[in-house]
Structures are given as C-alpha cells and as structure tokens.
Structure 1
C-alpha cells in the first residue's frame, strides 16, 4: 500500500512530499529469541555486531547474534536494567539500573568501575564517540557526564523533570537529553540540545507530554525525539527549527534509534491499551514510512540496530526480543532518497599516495558519472602523489598513476596541507605503511575522516598510535582489505553457519624487506580469516619456508583458525569456514567495489564498519607470527605482543 504522508509541520498542517510515493511494507521478524523471564527494557548491539545485550530485572543477558543463544549473563542487584551502552571500541559495556551505574569489561565480564551519584533509576546512557566520556540520565532529574578512566563527574543543568533519554552526536560535538513527568499529563516534555561539555544550547518544549527518547541522525542534520504524546518530533538542526512530527504511532513512542547507514529512524511504541505495539521505520525529513511490524503482544520498550545497519532488535513488556532484517534500507530507493534529502552536497575526497593500483581503481569508481546510489555523492577532487624512494614498485608506479589522475580531471597538489584545504575526507593510499602515522596526523587534526589502506602502518606500535590519535582528535578512521567483503565471508560473519568453530584461509604473501612479513601482502588472507573468526585470538604459531607460511591461531573457547601465505606455485585467495550448522567457502576476490561502498558509507556517517579492536588484533596476529618465526616456531601470545608494542 502507499504510505500516507505522516510528517506534519509545526503548525500541524499536512505536508505534501515524496512520502506519497514510498511503498510501506509489512515487516516480519527473521527470528524470535526464547521468551525471557521478565520484561525486556533495554537492548544494545556491540560495535562488531556479534553480541546483543538484553536488559532485564537484575540481569543483562548477552546473546550471540550468529547462534541467537544466551552465552553469558551479568547478574547483580541492579533493579530493572533500563540503560545499556557499549563503548565505541567494544571493550566496555555500561549498564544502568536503580541507583546503579556500572562499567564492565565486555570481553571477560568483569566489573571495571561503579559510578555513584544517581538517586533514582538510571534511564539511559551514551558514550562519547572517542569512548572517553559517558553521559547518564535518571529519573532523579539529573544528567551526569563521567570521565570513564577516573570516574570524575559533572552534573548537567537544565531539566526540571525526570530525564528518560540521551544521545551523543556522531561528531562528538552535541548531546541531547529528553525529559518529562509521566504522571503529570498537563506538563510538556522537554528536549535540550547541549554542547560537548553538556552545557544547554537550546531547549524545546513541543512535546505535549513527557519526552521519552532522543536520537541524532548519523550526519547530525536531524534530531528526533519520541514521547508519551504518541509523536516523534523532528528537529532540523541545520536550520535550527522544529520541522514537524511523525504521527504513525497511535501509542506512546517509547524508544527510537537512527539507522547508522541511512537517514531512517526506527521507533517503537505501546501503552496500556492492547493494540499499537508497533515497530516502525520511517524517514525524518518528510515522514515517509518504509515499513511497520506488529508482532509484540504488549508495549515495545526498546529498539537497537547493528552498526552495519542490517539487523534490528526490539524488546518489550511481553518478555520477547525479535530480530528484524532492515538491510532493505540500504537498497537504491532508500539510499537515494535519504542521502539526497539529507544533504545534496558532494563529499570531496583527497588521496594521499599514488603508488598503488587501488588509487586509480577507487577514483574511477567514485568519479563515474553513472555511479549507483550506494557510492554516489563522493568524488575524488585532489591528490598528493607521494611515494617511497626505497621501494622499487612505489617509484615506478607514481608517474603512471599521477598521469591517470590528471586524465580524470583530478588536481595534483604538492603537500598534504594543500590537499586538506580542498577536501572533506581522505583516502590514505600510500603503499608503504611506514609513513602512515605522520601522514594521517594532520588529516585527523583537521577533523577529516580517513580510510587508511593496507597496511594500516609499518609496525604494530604505529597502528596503535594511529587509533590513539583518532580518539584524541575525535576523528574516526578505519582500515580494511577488500577481501573482507567477499560474499562468502560476509555470509559466515552474518551467522550463515552458526557459531564459527574454525577457518582455513589463504592468499598470496609476497614479502617486502621494509615491513613485517605478513603486513605487505599476507594481510589479505589474514583479514579474510578474521572476517570469519572474529576477534578473540589468543596465541599464534608459525611455520615458515621460502615458498610459504602456515600460521595457526588459537581463539577463545579452543577455536582454531589458520592462514596459509603462498609465494610459490599457483596462488589465489579463498578459504573455508567450519561452523556449528555447516561449512562454507569464503569466496575469492570480487573487486574493489564492495570495499568502496563501505568507505562511502563511512565518509557519510562517520561510523567505521570495522572496529579499532579488530584491526589491532589482526596486526597483532601478524606481528605475533613474526615473533614466532624469530623464536623458531614457538607459540606467541597476542597480549604479550600488544603490551610490548604499547610500551614503545
């Protein structure tokens, strides 16, 4: 059926928009988790999408997303767990309950710190994008800003009612809080926009009853709040005005989330009445509804979406959690309309380094006038062609690729500062990983999002320093081989064969004397291995000969993954994964386009598709393999390698 126009302007006059042309679909869950013992009040996906944290009374259940089974539980005298948040690096899980705010180690499930001060229910939490601060809100009418490392706190002013929701913008510059008294129906709800210190910048009182939840769009253009008045209000932060409200819900809008890869909003509702317990997906700029799901038998209290934007979860009073496939939001129709409506401005991309075939390949894809919607909106406009004089292939390639760039109409500049004046985002393509830290420093200090091609650095210590610099500047980076995005590996990562018990991957592994052995080319196969296995590798053993390497990694729980690096005989890319529900070929190289799609989404949203934790573990795996070789093939622990690199 055609979706009705649901966004109403602030004068409550219907708006005629493209919403009338969107086909709203009936959504059906792809899975229902076994019924929980109590109502589900909060949900949070880990940054790598592997875990779903489920908040209940006195407990957080940790669900393995691939197997859809409860693998761990964090129990305590929390009361009802109403707030959950993973840190951006996935290393910590914060939870809030009655007069309780705790930060846990997400890997070993140990309590790191208890943050004391709230006198009521902690109702929502949000980490800053750099993971260094945590903002909490409570029905004690206070919002508190915590330094995660030392527990120091600043109490934020502004609200006169219980606070129910909080969000932090992706660029780290703004915080929003939502408040209101649920038991005083004549009192308006409050939404406060704050700067990064928590100081109020603007207050809206447009909700007729308490405001319950709040979320920023990935690009920071929209702020959306849901309330007891059965409305989701949309604020245009660029124009500094209330745009209108989404009226698709017929019950209180209890929670909402922004889709990380598009402008879509996911919202859930429900109240005391029997009906109206819905999950809706819609577009903030005009209220076009993409889909609605009605499966919960009581009010829906929480919603979350994976960082890759493919899977959503809802939980409610009926003690149920449902999983929903929302990958359709990244199809051409929704990508085109949401991206275009959000900001028609082309993202100008600069390239550092023209000594790899990736540089012209990426530019031709991005600058194609017929580019499909998933990579449209970005264009390479300038390049700094620095190479490395002590690497023969680098010296030989720069003149050829510089000429190719000129033929594409791309400006060639003579320094990185000159490049940064002309671009919004950067592709760091220098084939040599050794200068990457110094090359990326001015990029991040200028606030330009950056994709760093393989290898991310010439040493593990430099890789660590890059991510620390990213945190310090608040500017996101990510790095990946194109092999991560071959269809078979992505299917395994998405749970096609259930829990992955083991994997064997292979790729060419030519050596370059200036780099650790596997950094130069073996990274392709190692990235393929980690795409299937995920993080959790504990130790590495390497067998080496002139023509090949075999590296055996032992993961947590006794899982085993191997990488074979080929330098002799017929080469290629591939592997096979072994899971609880079957086996699957990982597939082979499928071109650069899938990686470019991820880069474009990263430039648009600021959300890295690969966590710093996973990237560093990949490089620690390869560094440990070198150490094992140096020691004659003995097992080497990744923790020891990482600790040593951090001390340098």
Structure 2
C-alpha cells in the first residue's frame, strides 16, 4: 500500500471531508493501492463545526499524527490542505518539501508571489515533485483549452464569493483559457462586485468578474473567443473536483507535476496585482 498523508490547519473543512473518498473511489488509486492513511492538523478543533482532529480521523479511517514531521516520515505522498489559510502553507509544507516525496499544495497556493517562489525553490533544492492548482482547471468544459497550446483572443470569467478564497479559481480558469503572459490589470468596479480588466498585450484582453453573492454554490462561467473568431460559452458543471483527484493520483503515480511552476507563480503575481488594483480603481498596474 502507498500511504497518503493530509496536513491541514483544521481538518473538518470541505476539502478534507471530501478528498479521502474521492481518492479511495478513484479506479487508478485502487489499482495502485493508494489510500489516505494519516492526518495532522495545526488547530485541534474546526471553527466550522467543532469537530476535533480525533473525531475527524475516526470518521475518515485515518491515523492521527501529532506533528508534520511524523506524518511526512510515515507517508509516501503528501497533501497540504489549509485551503482558506495560504499564509500557513510555507510552515505546513516546509518539511514535506525537504523530503523528496511528491507533495500537492491546495489552492490558494501562497499568500503572495514571493512566497510562491520560495516554495518552488525549496522543492527544487531538495528534488521534491510539487504542484498546486484550482480544481476548476480540470473541469470537463475547459479540457479543449487545456489541450490547445494557443490562448484565446479574449475571454470573460465569472465567479462568486470571497476574493481571498475564490479569486484563485477565476484567475486559474482565465489562465487555462488565455495561457500565461498577462501584462497589466485595472479594476473598474470594487464593492460587493469586483470587476477587473486584464491586458495580455497585442489586443488580447480578459475580464474577471466576481459577483456579490456570498453563496459559494453559484456556478462559474467562462466565455471565450479564439483567434480564428470561434466563440464558446460554458457554465462549469459539477465533477471537476473528481477530475482534479484523478490528476492528483496521476501525479503521485508518476512524480510529474500537473501544472508548470512558472504558471503557478504567474497566478500568484496576478493575485498580488489584483489586490493593488482593487484598492485604486481605474489605474493600470503592471503584473
């Protein structure tokens, strides 16, 4: 059996509650004998529902570890969660990134571009395969853009909820469609709605729209026009989390990262710039 360990800030949150079964139900994970065996949480009690680390481990059939070091030493593969607290990712993943064991770090990868660069540098120094992504990248609707090396001429990407938690999903879909290389951005609306124009140069533009609703179940939407004039509109459907787990299993099996580190660093730079732009609407900010 190949053993997967979960590292989290607190364990009873959506990702930790759902990923174990998604991995266990994956046919390739079953074939290869992968299972979620260990878990560690920095915070003992989940602020969401009061579930303790011991209660979570019992409910999900895992063994509790009392330190990051214990978990990494016992595991073959590492998943660093803490999806709502990227400021903890360096602390929670540092030992894993020195281990040489394939490590996945959940969205949002880091609090800023500088930390993203430090994380990748640490992984490279110790020969540790590592990647991070939003699950939205692996939605069925975006598959044609993932497989097409040519970026769109323009696109509009819409999402919802809180900027610090969900903006990464919108930007990751944008980069899947447009590819890397955004030059600058300008916020044209900043209130309960957040609207940002992203300039890729040579007449290529993308729109970021984060709607006012606090309902994180509102669907993500992508509208894209390709250089040949063809255009498509998509409302992202359920299933992308399972697709993301399929790619995670592939990563653990091969040690080959699913997303290029340069693209992830670019995305953190876009988040950095977006925060600046939202504070000063109608000004261009270089990325």
Instruction: Give the alignment's TM-score, normalised by structure 1.
Output: 0.41
Aligned to 1:576: 223
Correspondence 1:350 to 2:5: yes
Aligned to 1:624: 273
Greater C-alpha radius of gyration? 1
Between Structure 1 and Structure 2, which shows a larger proportion of helix residues? Answer: 2
- Counterparts in 2 of 1:554 and 1:535: CA distance versus 1, 3 Å: same
Deviation at 1:500, TM superposition (A): 1.3
Equivalent residues in 2 for 1:376-415 (5 A)?
Answer: 376-377=31-32, 378-387=34-43, 395-397=47-49, 399=51, 403-415=55-67
Q: Deviations along 1:351-374, whole A, 9 cap, x unmatched? A: 001143111211012224xx4236
Structure 1 unaligned spans of 5+: 1-345, 511-517, 639-648
- Of 490, 509, 531 in structure 1, the residue corresponding to residue 143 of structure 2 is 490
Q: Deviations along 1:144-164, whole A, 9 cap, x unmatched? A: xxxxxxxxxxxxxxxxxxxxx
- Counterparts in 2 of 1:595 and 1:569: CA distance versus 1, 3 Å: closer
State the Cα RMSD in Å.
2.3
Distance 1:491 1:412 in 2: 41
Deviation at 1:628, TM superposition (A): 1.4
- Of 518, 529, 532 in structure 1, the residue corresponding to residue 177 of structure 2 is 532
- Of 414, 423, 427 in structure 1, the residue corresponding to residue 79 of structure 2 is 427
Equivalent residues in 2 for 1:17-56 (5 A)?
Answer: none
- Counterparts in 2 of 1:352 and 1:505: CA distance versus 1, 3 Å: same
Distance 1:587 1:401 in 2: 36
Structure 2 unaligned spans of 5+: none
Q: Do the aligned residues in 2 keep the contact of 1:488 with 1:586 (CA within 8 Å)? A: yes
- Of 12, 21, 27 in structure 2, the residue corresponding to residue 364 of structure 1 is 21
- Counterparts in 2 of 1:398 and 1:365: CA distance versus 1, 3 Å: farther
- Counterparts in 2 of 1:612 and 1:632: CA distance versus 1, 3 Å: same
4+ residue runs over 4 A deviation: none
Deviation at 1:419, TM superposition (A): 0.6
Between Structure 1 and Structure 2, which shows a larger proportion of strand residues? Answer: 1
Equivalent residues in 2 for 1:629-648 (5 A)?
Answer: 629-638=278-287
Aligned to 1:78: none
- Counterparts in 2 of 1:542 and 1:449: CA distance versus 1, 3 Å: same
Correspondence 1:590 to 2:231: no
- Counterparts in 2 of 1:519 and 1:490: CA distance versus 1, 3 Å: farther
Matched residue of 1:598: which SS?
helix
Q: Do the aligned residues in 2 keep the contact of 1:387 with 1:398 (CA within 8 Å)? A: no
- Counterparts in 2 of 1:405 and 1:586: CA distance versus 1, 3 Å: farther
Matched residue of 1:572: which SS?
coil
Comparing both chains, which one has the higher relative contact order based on Cα–Cα distances under 8 Å and sequence gaps of 6 or more?
2
- Of 522, 541, 566 in structure 1, the residue corresponding to residue 186 of structure 2 is 541
Distance 1:566 1:400 in 2: 34
Deviation at 1:387, TM superposition (A): 3.6
Distance 2:286 2:159 in 1: 23
Distance 1:495 1:358 in 2: 29
Deviation at 1:586, TM superposition (A): 3.7
- Counterparts in 2 of 1:519 and 1:473: CA distance versus 1, 3 Å: farther
Deviation at 1:397, TM superposition (A): 4.4
Distance 1:614 1:438 in 2: 22
- Counterparts in 2 of 1:490 and 1:374: CA distance versus 1, 3 Å: farther
Aligned to 1:565: 210
Aligned length: 279
Deviation at 1:401, TM superposition (A): 7.2
Instruction: Give the alignment's TM-score, normalised by structure 2.
Output: 0.89
Q: Deviations along 1:549-607, whole A, 9 cap, x unmatched? A: 01111114321111101223873211111113411224414231100011111111111
Distance 1:363 1:460 in 2: 30
